[in-house]
Amino acid sequence: MKATIIAHESPPADASVEIHRFKFLLDDGTTSPIAETISLRTARVIVENLEDGNAFIKMLRTIVKAQPAEYDDLVGRIFPDHYKHSSNGGHPTRGCDGTSPIS
């Protein structure tokens, strides 16, 4: 899977900075990519509560770590999964014993 940031929308001047919105694509390579939008506030909550584990979380961590002046520079960034397909044809997100690496 890969996640790609495709747009950044600044909040209105009188709104909270937490309302910055990021549009992104999730592409697992087996179906058409899915376009979604997430606010900075929601990204912060997810990052605080989930371990790093896939392209989506890597993308959110980058958004949360960025400074507001850098948000537009994130557009076009691609975040691939760090999972590698196993040589025995097993599922790339599962351990050799079939368990998920994410507890």
pTM: 0.76
Lowest mean pLDDT among 37-46, 48-57, 86-95: 86-95
Cα torsion 36, 42, 44, 45 to 10°: value is -120
Each domain of the chain, given as residue ranges in start order, spans: 2-80
Strand positions, DSSP E, 28-75 = 34-39
Say how many CA atoms lie within 13 Å of 33 toward its Cβ.
14
**Among the listed residues 62, 73, 63, 82, the one whose alpha carbon sits nearest the alpha carbon of residue 2:** 82
pLDDT of residue 81 exceeding 90:
no
What's the average model confidence in pLDDT over 7-32?
A: 91
